[in-house]
Amino acid sequence: MALKTKEQYLSSLRELGHRVFIQGEKVASVPDHPISRPPAMAMAETYQQAEQEDMKPLFTAQSHLTGETINRFTHIQHNIEDLVKKILMLREMGRKTACCFQRCAGLDCMNSVYAITYDLDQEYGTRYHDRFVDFMKYIQSNDYLPAACMTDSKGDRSLPPSKQEDPDQYVHIVAEKKGGIVVRGAKMHTTGGVNSHEIIVMPTRALQEEDKDYAVAFAVPANTEGVTFIYGRQPSDTRRLEQNRSDTGNLYYGGCESMVVFDDVFVPEERIFMKGEYPFAGRLVELFAAHHRASYGGCKVGVGDVLIGAATAIAEAHGTDKSAHIKDKIAEMIHLNETLHAGALASAGKGYRTPSGAYAVDHLMANVCKLNITRFPFDISRLAQDIAGGLLVTMPSLDDQDNPEIGPYVKKYLVGKSGVDSEKRVRILRLIENITLGTGAVSYLTESIHGAGSPQAQKIMITRLADIESAKSCAYKLCGL
C-alpha cells in the first residue's frame, strides 16, 4: 500500500495504542477526543488531498526508492521542481485547513537525515544511509507519518548538554546493549507527534567531543515502550469540549504540539542514524533548519490566504469594503503574504543537489523567508483585527441566539448590512478570532516566531551566509579605492 486513504489513516491512528495524556488524563483514541480530534483531522487532510484527482500532481510523487506513487509528504526531493511543488503543496494545505497541519516537519526531517547520513558514511565508513533508505522504503510503502523531534528541554541554556546539572535535559545515550542503544530525555514542541506513526529524533544544536553521547539520531515507532506524549495547551482549546463547537471559529481543524518523553527507550541498531559523530550534529541541524524555514513560506501563506479572505468577507458584511482605507489594508495584507511566498519559492528555485542526490533549498533565502515570517503574519493579523472591529473580542456566543429571552436582542443588534444576519457575521468574526487570538494563533503567530528557530537564529545564519566581502569589494571598486 503506497497511498493510504483518509479513513485508513484515522483507523491506523486509533489502533496505534501510544501513550498520550491530555490535561492529566490518558487518552484512549486521539482522533476521537474532542480536544485532539481537530488536529488529527488536519493531518488526515494530507491523505485526503492525495486522493483527489485534481490534486494528485501536487500531493503525490514517484519514489526514487520503490518506483511507487507515494504521498509527497514522504518524498525525498530530487530536483528543483520537487522543492517548488512542496512549497505549493504546503500553501494549498494551509488554505484547506487554516492551521498547522503538522506534516511538513517530518518531511523536512526525512530529507535532512537522508542527505546527512550519506555524508556521515563518506566520512566515517558507517552504514547509516543504508539504514535510513530502508526506513524510508518502509515509510513510503505504508504511507506512514513520522514526526520530527528536535528541540530538547535544554535546562540551563548557558551550558552545553554535557555540563547540565541534570544530564537528561538533552536526549542522550545512557547505555549500549546488544543490538542497540538506550536513550533518555525529552523533546519539546513536537508538531503532530500524537498524530504520527513514527518519531525521528535529531540533535538540537552543534556539539563538541564532550557532548558526543548527545549526538544521536534515530527513529522509533510512536508506541514504543518508554515513549510518552504530553499534549500542549492552546488558547481557548476547551471550547472544543462544548456541545456547540461553533465558537471555536475553525469548526474542523487545528494544530497540536506535545512534549515527548523518552524514559530509557531501547533503539535497535537498524534504526540508529547517528551515534556519537558530534561534528555532524550542527550540519544536520542547519540543513533541517533551511528546509523547514522555507516551508513556512508555504503553510503560513496558506493560512494568510484564509485570513485575508475572512477580513474581506467581514468588510463586505459591515458594508465597509468600498472604503479606501479598507482597500488599502487588504492590499497591504496581500503584499505581505505574497512576499513571504516569494521568499520560499526563491529558496526552492535556487536549490542545489547534495552529494546524496537529494536536493536542498538555498540556505540564505530560506533564512530570509523565515525572518520575514517572524514579522509579517503579525502585521497581517493586526490589519485583519483592524478591519474586523472591536466586536471581534466582545461578541456574545452563538448559543445566546438560541436563548428565547435574549436571542432576539442578539439577532437584532448583531446584524451587518442589509442581507447579512447576525450568525453570518459572528461566524466570520470567530474565524478571524481563531487565527489571530485562539487555537489557530498558536500555529499562525507564535509558531511563526519560534517554529524552525527563533528570529535570532535566522539573523545569525543570514549574517554568516551573506557574501559581505564581495559586496565590500564592489563598493571599494566603485568609489575608486
CA distance 337 to 155: 36
The residues that are catalytic are: 100, 104, 191, 257, 292, 296, 299, 447
Residue 119 lies in a domain: no
What is the C-alpha to C-alpha distance for residues 154 and 133, in angstroms, rounded to an integer?
Answer: 31
68 domain-assigned:
no
Alpha carbon separation from 212 to 79, 115, 204, 281 (Å, rounded): 34, 20, 13, 9
Q: What contacts 26, CB < 8 A, 6 or more positions away?
A: 19, 20
Residue type, 450: H
- The confidence score (pLDDT) of residue 347 equals 98
Contact call for residues 425 and 411 (beta carbons, < 8 A): no
Which residues touch 198 (CB under 8 Å, ≥6 apart)? 139, 144, 145, 146, 147, 219, 220, 221, 222
With a pLDDT cut of 70, the percent of the chain lying above it is 100
In a domain, 238, yes or no: no
Asked whether residue 202 is assigned to any structural domain, the reply reads no
Q: For residue 477, how many C-alpha atoms fall within 13 Å in the half-sphere facing its CB?
A: 6
Residue-range definition of the domain harbouring residue 406: 283-478
**Which residue do the cell numbers 513556512 mark?**
296
3 in any annotated domain: no
Amino acid at 14: R
pLDDT at residue 145 in the model: 97
Write the pLDDT tens digit of every residue in 29-49.
Answer: 999 999 999 999 999 999 999
| CATH code, domain carrying 442 | 1.20.140.10
Please check whether residue 464 lies inside any domain of the structure.
yes
The pLDDT assigned to 1 comes to 66
What pLDDT score was predicted for residue 273?
98
Q: What is the pLDDT along the chain (481 residues), one digit of tens a residue?
A: 689 999 999 999 999 999 999 999 999 999 999 999 999 999 999 999 999 999 999 999 999 999 999 999 999 999 999 999 999 999 999 999 999 999 999 999 999 999 999 999 999 999 999 999 999 999 999 999 999 999 999 999 999 999 999 999 999 999 999 999 999 999 999 999 999 999 999 999 999 999 999 999 999 999 999 999 999 999 999 999 998 878 999 999 999 999 999 999 999 999 999 999 999 999 999 999 999 999 999 999 999 999 999 999 999 999 999 999 999 999 999 999 999 999 999 999 999 999 999 999 999 999 999 999 999 999 999 999 999 999 999 999 999 999 999 999 999 999 999 999 999 999 999 999 999 999 999 999 999 999 999 999 999 999 999 999 999 999 999 999 9
Residue 56 lies in a domain: no
Number of H helices, E strands in the chain: 16, 15
Task: Label residue 28 left, alpha or beta by phi (over 0 means left) and psi (-120 to 50 means alpha).
Answer: alpha
Q: What is the separation, in whole angstroms, between the first and last Cα of the chain?
A: 66
- Residue 371 per-residue DSSP state: H
Sign, Cα dihedral of 423, 428, 257, 82? positive
pLDDT digits (tens, 9 = 90+) for 326-381: 999 999 999 999 999 999 999 999 999 999 999 999 999 999 999 999 999 999 99
Indicate the number of domains in the chain: 1
Which residues does 395 contact at the CB level (< 8 Å), separation at least 6? 414, 426, 429
Strand order in the sheet with 198-201: 146-149, 198-201, 216-221, 272-275
Is 264 among the domain residues? no
C-alpha cell at 295: 516551508
Q: What pLDDT does 399 receive?
A: 92
| 443 secondary structure, DSSP code | I
**3-state SS record for 438-457:** CHHHHHHHHHHHHCCCCHHH
Q: Which three cell numbers stand for residue 29?
A: 483514541
Residues 299, 302, 307, 310, CA torsion sign? negative
